[in-house]
Each structure stands twice: as C-alpha cells, then as structure tokens.
C-alpha cells in the first residue's frame, strides 16, 4: 500500500459500521420484546417476564432534594461550567512547526446524589410491589435551574470550591418518579419472601428491567428512531471510509471510485437482512413459548379452582355442623334451666340457681362470606389468566399474518393459536353443593379443556 490511510480509513469505517449493526440488532430485539409482551393487569401478574402499568404509590414516600417533590426515587446533580484556551504545536503539510490556539468549554459535575425505595404499582385491580434496584430508570425532570454566583442557590446547595477555569455558572437539575405518577414497567416477576404475592425485581437472566414514566407508545417510537439512527450512520461510515480513500487520497480515478464503497455497502445491507432474519425468527420462538406458558397458566388456575373449592366447602360445612351442635346444646341447657330437667342433659343444671349464658362467637356467616369472596377471587384469576393468554395468542396470530414475517413463519412451521373460549371454561366449572337436609353432596369438578 502506498499510503497507510488506504487501509486504515476504510477499515475504521467498517469497524464503526459493525458497531452500528450491533446497536441496530440490540434496538430491534428490545422493540420486538416490548411488542410481543401483552400488558397485564396487576391482579393477573404471574411469575415470569411481565409488562404492567399503573401509578407509583408508597406508604412513606421520599422527598426530592431540590424540588421537594413527594416521590419514590430521585436523582439530582450540580454541574459547573468552565472555559479555557488551549495552545498547541503541530507540523503542517510542508514540515514546518506551527502554533495554534483553540477554545474549549464544558460542564463538570461538582455535587449530586440519589435515593430510591421499594414502592407499589397500582391499577384498578390491585397493587404490586416493585424493587427498583438494578432497573433502567427513566424519570421525569422536576427541577432545572442555571444561575451565577450571586444566586443564594449557588453555594446553598453547591460546594464552596470551584473547578479550574470556572465561569462561575452552575446548573442545578433533578429527575424523579413522582408519587402517583403513571409508570410503565417491564421486568421479571417473582414470589415475595414475606407474603404469598408477586413482586417485580432485578433478575440477571431477564432480558429487560425497565421502569419508565413514558408510555409504551413513546418508548416504541424511541426504539424506531434508534433503529433508523443505527442503520443510517452505519451506511454513512462505510461510504465515508471509501470516499475518503478513493477521492480524498486520489488513489484511483474518480470515475472508478464507486465500486470501492459499493461492495461494503452491499455487505452491510446483507448484514442488516441477516440480523433482521435472526431477530424475527428468535422473537417468534420466544412469542410461541410465552403463548404456551400463558396457556399453562390458565390450566394452573383451573387446577387451583378444582383443588381449592372442595376444600373450602368441606371446611365451611364442618364449622357449620359444629356450630349447629353448639346451638342445639345451648337450647337444651336453656330449656333444662327453666324446667329443671331435660332429655339428654340430665343432671347438668340441677344444682344451678343462677345461669349466665356466654354465647360463643359463631363464625358460619363470616365463613360463608369468605368462601364467596374466594370463589369470586378464583374466577377473577381465571378470567385474567384467560385474558392474558388470549392477548398473547392474538398477537402471535397477528405476527404470523404480517408481511414479510408471515413468509418466514410459514417456512419455519409456526402455526396460529386458537383463543380460549368461555365454553371451554364452563366445561371446567366446579359445581358447589352444600349440605341439604342432612345429605351432603360433594363438589365435583368437571374435566378441563385440552388443546
């Protein structure tokens, strides 16, 4: 090679384009994941990767450092501006030593801090605890103020020292997750250690843990712009590398310059296509597995209903029978106390001159109410699981019908899924029969649906 740049300039362009391709693949994977996850109601959150939305709630909220906002987490900082003139020596194209100056400016962080607490996400169906440690947080700006040394805030919050070449201008800013603010959360749900309930927390195996004050639509638009950015600048770096080599360095005639950058651009295009192909196939596999898991969750809830309801019925009937016996015994004792005798309880009240009855705390009514609430809660859980599966299956079917993904899905053997109907759920209904006229009828669950 006659000139080192003939190799290093295009090589640098290819290297930067490769980095852009990796960024494009990462953005595409994240976008696919957000599209493929249906938004769950909080009561319908199951163990695994979930997507939920609601409002940030806390019994003991924090207070942000600058804005004094009630929040569940905040991050604040103070940047100080500096400006300096730099003189440097260099050798020009004729080999002569030259001197030049340039002005540099920037901001340096001089103070800052953050605080974060566990909080609850609430929607119309309930609350879900969120442990935000390890999450990628997208907060809302609640404070942004730039001032000079005469402002009381300058030294009131900022430090007394200054950075070199300071212009004595400071910017005070703060971001926070404000109490009651709408949130969009994607993360791994697990079982809590203190009670039987799920929570969302960091998991090293989870593909994403995001807590954002932006909506899902805003996040997806951001991912679309990110895809465009990585692809566009990847092509730009390749073209610039070859144009600089062929035209700037004049190594080949201008009329023959185009094949130099045409080939790497074509390679980059093929790389984009292969990356798209892999991402689409892998996302379809993940979507199918999540749909299968959603199907199993409905089966789990139906099995829970079939096992739990008969146990509840037996418990309520046992308590009801015990309290009925207590009532009969009390009635007999009361009658004997009045008459001095009684069948079946002879001798119990003979010497009693004064009878004080302490009525037991009967629980039948409360137990019937609890059983009714549990029945309602069980049916709600089944409905939520069914809705989650139907959302997942609907999106899978949509993906299989979209162009050009449908062709790839057809070649790979992906099949559409039928939705879970109400008729199937009725076939798995647990019949509830309590004791009538001394004859006890057991609860009999009907066989569940199959697919």
pLDDT in tens, 141-172: 999 999 999 999 999 998 999 999 999 999 99
Give the DSSP letter of residue 418: P
Whether the model clears a pTM of 0.85, i.e. scores above it, the answer is: no
pLDDT score recorded for residue 431: 58
Residue 345 pLDDT > 60: no
Mean pLDDT, to the nearest integer, of 73-94? 89
**What is the band of 224 on the pLDDT scale with cuts at 50, 70, 90?**
confident
Q: How confident is the model over 58-79, as pLDDT tens digits?
A: 999 999 999 999 999 999 999 9
Mean of per-residue pLDDT scores for the chain: 76
Q: Is the pLDDT confidence value at 96 over 50?
A: yes
CA dihedral for 255, 257, 259, 261, sign (positive or negative): negative
What is the tens place of the pLDDT at every residue in 171-210?
Answer: 999 999 999 999 999 999 888 888 868 899 999 888 899 9
In sequence order, the β-bridge partners of residue 190 are 199
Q: What is the pLDDT of residues 356-396, one digit of tens each?
A: 444 455 555 566 666 667 676 777 777 777 777 777 787 77
Contacts of 371 (CB under 8 A, 6+ apart): 312, 313, 316
Q: pLDDT-based confidence at 438, cuts 50/70/90?
A: very low
Q: What is the pLDDT of residues 103-143, one digit of tens each?
A: 999 999 999 999 999 999 999 988 999 999 999 999 999 99
**Whether pLDDT at 308 is above 80:** no
Burial of 422 (0-12, 13-18, 19+ CB in 10 A): exposed
Model confidence pLDDT, tens digit, residues 264-296: 666 777 777 887 888 778 878 887 887 887 787
- Looking at per-residue pLDDT, the higher value among 40 and 406 belongs to 40
Give, in order, the Cα–Cα distances in Å from 334 to each of 324, 347, 361: 15, 13, 18
Q: Is 338's pLDDT higher than 70?
A: no
Averaged pLDDT, 293-301: 76
- 200, two tokens: 């969302």
pLDDT, residue 226, reads: 84
Whether residue 8 is predicted with pLDDT greater than 50 in this model: the reply is no
Cβ count near 308 (within 10 Å): 14
Bigger pLDDT: 416 vs 211: 211
Q: Does residue 31 or residue 330 have the better pLDDT?
A: 31
Can you give the pLDDT at residue 1? 47
Q: Evaluate whether 175 touches 113 at the Cβ level (below 8 Å).
A: no
Identify the CA nearest to 231 among candidates 202, 261, 264, 271: 271
Strands 166-178 and 70-91: antiparallel
């Amino acid at each position: 090679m006659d000139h080192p740049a003939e190799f290093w300039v295009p090589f640098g362009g290819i290297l930067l384009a490769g980095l852009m391709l990796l960024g494009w693949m990462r953005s595409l994977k994240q976008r696919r994941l957000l599209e493929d996850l249906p938004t769950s109601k909080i009561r319908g959150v199951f163990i695994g990767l979930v997507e939920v939305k609601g409002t940030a709630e806390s019994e003991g909220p924090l207070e942000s450092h600058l804005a004094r906002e009630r929040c569940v987490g905040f991050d604040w900082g103070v940047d100080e501006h500096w400006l300096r003139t730099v003189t440097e020596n260099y050798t020009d194209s004729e080999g002569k030593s030259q001197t030049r100056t340039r002005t540099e400016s920037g901001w340096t962080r001089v103070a800052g801090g953050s605080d974060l607490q566990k909080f609850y996400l609430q929607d119309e169906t309930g609350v879900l605890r969120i442990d935000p440690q390890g999450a990628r947080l997208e907060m809302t700006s609640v404070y942004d103020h730039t001032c000079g040394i005469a402002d009381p805030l300058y030294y009131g919050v900022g430090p007394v020292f200054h950075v070199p070449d300071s212009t004595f201008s400071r910017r005070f800013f703060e971001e926070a997750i404000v109490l009651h603010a709408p949130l969009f959360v994607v993360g791994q749900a697990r079982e809590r250690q203190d009670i039987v309930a799920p929570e969302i927390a960091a998991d090293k195996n989870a593909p994403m843990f995001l807590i954002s004050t932006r909506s899902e639509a805003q996040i997806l638009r951001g991912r679309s712009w990110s895809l465009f950015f990585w692809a566009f600048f990847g092509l730009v770096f390749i073209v610039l590398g070859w144009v600089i080599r062929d035209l700037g360095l004049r190594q080949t005639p201008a009329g023959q310059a185009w094949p130099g950058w045409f080939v790497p651009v074509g390679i980059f295009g093929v790389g984009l296509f292969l990356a798209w192909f892999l991402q689409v196939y892998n996302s379809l596999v993940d979507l199918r597995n999540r749909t299968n898991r959603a199907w199993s969750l409905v089966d789990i809830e139906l099995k829970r209903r079939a096992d739990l309801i008969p146990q509840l019925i037996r418990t309520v009937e046992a308590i009801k029978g015990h309290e009925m016996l207590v009532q009969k015994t009390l009635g007999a004792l009361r009658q004997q106390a009045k008459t001095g005798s009684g069948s079946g309880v002879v001798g119990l009240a003979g010497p009693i001159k004064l009878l004080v009855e302490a009525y037991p705390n009967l629980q039948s009514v409360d137990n019937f109410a609890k059983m009714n609430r549990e029945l309602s809660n069980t049916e709600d859980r089944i409905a939520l699981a069914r809705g989650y599966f139907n959302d997942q299956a609907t999106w899978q079917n949509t993906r299989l019908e979209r162009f050009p993904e449908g062709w790839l899905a057809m070649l790979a053997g992906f099949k559409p899924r039928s939705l879970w109907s109400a008729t199937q759920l009725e076939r798995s209904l647990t019949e509830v029969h309590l004791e009538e006229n001394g004859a006890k009828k057991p609860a009999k669950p009907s066989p569940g649906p199959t697919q």
